[in-house]
Amino acid sequence: MSDLRIQDLMATTLHTIDGMATVGEAMAVMKRHGVSSLIVSRRGVDDEVGVVDMVRLATDVVARNRAPDRVHVYEVMTKPVVTVSPRMQARYALRLLAELRLTRTVVANDDREPVGLVTLRDLVLADI
């Protein structure tokens, strides 16, 4: 694992959504693509990306009996999110996620644009 970099393990197909979309729309996108998280697009160059995932939808919307079509993504997303470089060694990313008790992180290039997503599962199951 010492030679593995995040770019070797990350998923490069990113599914995004606008923060103004409803949670109902986000759930439909997640279902259509079979994913459990979406990257929330930046609103400008000085903004940061966000993430909305199943845990937030379950705890902040569904479990509280809030109507998914009346709640906007920006109300329940995580923002800012921890990002890592595609060049980071996988072992350090694993330590970071474990220390912060995160299950995933956005991979961003030098311009802070999201280029991938890596999960704790990807890192743990990498060729150690």
The predicted-structure confidence for 25-40, as pLDDT tens digits, reads as follows: 999 999 999 999 999 9
pLDDT, tens digit (0-9, with 9 covering 90-100), for 28-84: 999 999 999 999 999 988 999 999 999 999 999 999 999 999 999 999 999 999 999
Examine residue 40 and state whether it is found in any structural domain, yes or no: yes
- Residue 106 DSSP label: E
CATH number of the domain to which 71 belongs: 3.10.580.10
Closest among 4, 18, 21 to 92, alpha carbons compared: 4
CB 117 within 8 A of CB 107: yes
- What is the tally of structural domains in the chain? 1
Q: What percent of the chain has pLDDT over 70?
A: 97
The reported pLDDT for the residue numbered 1 is 54
Examine residue 1 and state whether it is found in any structural domain, yes or no: no
Examine residue 114 and state whether it is found in any structural domain, yes or no: yes
CB 120 within 8 A of CB 97: yes
DSSP SS3 for 99: helix
Examine residue 30 and state whether it is found in any structural domain, yes or no: yes
> Taking phi first (over 0 means left), then psi (-120 to 50 degrees means alpha), and beta for anything else, what does residue 65 get?
left
* pTM listed for this prediction: 0.88
Is it the case that residue 9 has pLDDT exceeding 60? yes
